[in-house]
Amino acid sequence: MICLYIGTNTGSCGLITAQKDPVPLKSVEVELEVRDHVATVVSTLNYENKEDKPLEAVFVLPLPGDAAVCHFSAQIGQTQIVAEVKEKQKAREEYDDALSSGQQVCLLTESDESPDIFSLCVGSLPPGESASIRLEYVTELAVQADDGLRFCLPAVLNPRYQPQGSAGAGFQVTSVPASLEPYSLSFSARVSSPRPVSKVESNCSLDPLQYLNTDQTQATVKLAAGHKFDRDVELLIYYKDAHQPTAVVEAGQASAEPGSLMGDPVVMVSLYPEFPQSVMSSTASCGEFVFLMDRSGSMGFRIKRRSLQTCIHSAKDTLLLLLKSLPMGCYFNIYSFGSRYEHIFPKSVEYSRQTMEEALKKVKKMKADLGETEILEPLKHIYSQPCILNQPRQLFVLTRGWVKNDKEVIDLVKKNSSSHRCFSFGTGENTSYIFINKISKEGGGHAQFITATDKIQPKVMQSLQFALQPSVIDISVTWDLPKEVSVTVLTPPITSILQGQRSLIYAQLTGQSSEAAEGCVTLKYSLAGHPSENQLHFSLRPAEDTGLTVHMLAARTLIRSLEMEARDNKGERDEEMKKVVEELSIQSGVSSAFTAFIAVSKSSGEAIQGPLIPPPSDFWHISAALLGQAQNYHDIHVCNFLITATESELSVKDPLLQLVSLLEASGCWLLKPALASVLGKTSKEVANLKPASASSEVWATILALIWLHGFKMDAKDEWELLAMKAASWLRAHNATCVTECVEAGNALLGCRVTKDALGL
């Protein structure tokens, strides 16, 4: 028998046999195919039974929670078995029966607790035999702040914290980096798009990008040799003209019944709404900004391996940028949470120099010392506070996100989405991708992932710019199709729109149309009192070589919506809705919470001796029983992940962040030695060139703006809001010496920045 075992006293961790031998996983092969923003991932896990008796193995796999698992098969010796999707309980019973009779059998089930966790059972692997498990899924790739598309291959199953007193409390599940296990990883990616592929980046070493055609619309890339699977593998893919709207029509499955989801064509529409410049040029100066920061023990982990900075330091840097960039006249408060929660002010206060400095002093002292990750109670307290008139609430959540009661938290965010927008930041590697994305989606905001310090600023600034945009209301989607074609929209209604961000729509097209026929989809909305619309005309002719990818993603979208609807029915799963999900899952071959993949070889073999492993539905509890002496999160995780760090390590080498930290709440800089140091000058040099008629604040502020425009234009999206705030402060002070200060500043810093470029 193989099981997940965690023992803090013995030093054993990861996947091992009952005799504490390493799990017989020999290698993992991953092939990624990206077509525009849709990824197909094929993973092959190779095993070998080195024991002298048949083996049953149970593994827990982290997969993207929004993925559509669409294929599962096994090659055991010379026998190939392909899994079918069946109702979950029937699949478990069939697995037990096959295992008892010695048949080779595999079972893949989605966790009842979370859709991003799957358990894989490999039953009756004969002595000395090898097995290859093939798992395939499709998923959409999220758009990042710099327009890159992000793909993440999780290296480990991360821990989940269950608050005391909630259902299923008292267990945790974890794993270890693959560097401590004997298996290897090979990873390759093929990228294609109607637009040229400009670059592919990764947090891991890559071989050079290889283009497959002259227009650079197809390319391949691989992980460099010698890679150790000791962290999540993150890939960022960049296209030219990334914000072009698209529509892909995919033909139905020939063998499927016409009129069914799989039998009819399905269209996937990607829209990138662009707001009028007149609205975007005037940034809002109001709002209640509530920051909720994770201070649980996991925030003491390094944000990036081989880096000194920890997640808590990254979160504090993020808070610094956010606080410095807030507009005068708004309100704010800061909450931090772990097993308990704290807030800096009893209620949100008006943003001023005094309140900002008071908040920053307390943020500076924050440590990852509040215990476990319990976010529900502080959220309840935030939502219980009355909203401030004419100050729309914007919630910013900074966390690693590993909570077990994620559904309860997500439901709470969704319930309160009419009174606020939620912007989430996943800090560090191995964050809970699905949870962080889901709370922002249900809260009408946007999610960002901070995996390295050099990428904090643009992501923070983009989210703040989104938060300062007025809320979009009266959203509607209309279709104009030939009269013989009808449309069934499969995507939940769009509830929020952000400037330049993708809005995805899946729809089933029923009826016959000519090859030359066209359709049109129109997205209408109202922004700051101005009605707007975006239109996309598209051909109804099915695209070639898409397989059934669009159908499977559409089925996954509909399945998730129906699952949520079933759960929302008075807190119980509605049996009728459950049946609909089961039928759709079986018809489409896509996983769901109510079904499982089961593959059985009809050949007979030697039965497994001894008690069977309990059904995968109880896998969380299996893990609990095997936790040994582990008492809490910290016992399990000390390993090599925690480091000690001092305040002096907080991004002191980043001059841009240093300049940001010196900005006053009002939007000006003061003439201090620290400012001169950032500018690369002495205090004497700065003072000597100051025009006599200029105040020290005006001179310092213009110098800072010139430095930003002269030396940091490649990072403009990181400081643009700060510069706008500073320019507004200068205009409000009606300084008569601006021209003279700009000329003197250029002379001092060796720049050629014009007054117009500074917004003056």
3-state secondary structure 169-199: CCCCCCCCCHHHCCCEEEEEEEEECCCCEEE
Taking 90 as the threshold, does the pLDDT of residue 2 lie above it? no
452 has a pLDDT exceeding 60: no
Residue 427: is its pLDDT beyond 90?
A: no
The type of residue at 525 is Y
Using the predicted structure, report yes or no on whether residue 85 has a pLDDT greater than 90.
yes
Please, which pLDDT band fits residue 639 given cuts at 50, 70 and 90? very low
Could you tell me what percent of the chain has a pLDDT over 90? 32
Range from 10-24, 441-455, 678-692 that averages highest in pLDDT:
678-692
The pLDDT, as a whole number, for residue 565 is 75
Torsion of CA 601, 602, 603, 608, to 10 degrees: 70
The 3-state secondary structure of 410-439, one letter per residue: HHHHHHCCCCEEEEEEEECCCCCHHHHHHH
Q: Of the given ranges (451-465, 586-600, 683-697), which has the lowest mean pLDDT?
A: 451-465
Mean pLDDT for 326-335 is 91
Which fold does the domain 296-457 belong to in CATH?
Rossmann fold (3.40.50)
User: Mean pLDDT in the chain?
Assistant: 79
Q: Which of 242, 31, 232, 237 is nearest to 150 (CA)?
A: 237
306 has a pLDDT exceeding 50:
no
Query: How confident is the model over 78-97, as a mean pLDDT?
Result: 90
**For 172-181, 363-372, 384-393, which range has the lowest pLDDT when averaged over its residues?**
172-181
| Count of residues in the chain | 760
Q: What is the pTM of this model?
A: 0.74
By CB neighbour count within 10 A (0-12 exposed, 13-18 middle, 19+ buried), where does 146 fall?
middle
pLDDT interval class at 631 (50, 70, 90): very low
Predicted local distance difference test score (pLDDT) of residue 279: 66
pLDDT top residue among 469 and 557: 557
What tokens does 628 get? 């040994």
pLDDT interval class at 333 (50, 70, 90): very high
Tokens of 307: 């880096």
Using 50, 70 and 90 to split pLDDT, how confident is the model at 512? confident
The full set of domain ranges for the chain reads 2-193+585-637, 296-457, 654-749
* Nearest alpha carbon to residue 62 among 111, 27, 104, 24: 111
CB 211 within 8 Å of CB 127: no
Tens-digit pLDDT profile for residues 140-162? 988 876 788 888 887 655 444 44
Which of the residue ranges 371-380, 468-477, 749-758 has the most confident prediction, judged by mean pLDDT?
Answer: 749-758
Binned at pLDDT 50, 70 and 90, residue 284 comes out as low
Q: What's the order of all strands across the beta sheet hosting 210-211? A: 79-82, 68-76, 130-140, 38-48, 25-35, 184-192, 218-222, 210-211
pLDDT of residue 417: 83
Average pLDDT over residues 380-404: 86
Distance of CA 194 to the CA centre of its chain: 25
pLDDT tens digits, one per residue of 687-721 = 999 999 999 999 999 999 999 999 988 878 778 88
Express each pLDDT in 184-224 by its tens digit.
778 999 999 988 999 999 888 889 999 999 999 999 999 88
Enter the tokens of residue 631: 């008492």
- The lowest-confidence range among 159-168, 294-303, 490-499 is 159-168
Amino acid at 26: K
Of the candidates 682, 670, 667, the residue with the CA atom closest to the CA atom of residue 733: 667
Task: From residue 455, give the alpha-carbon distance in Å to each of 145, 563, 665, 715.
Answer: 9, 35, 24, 10
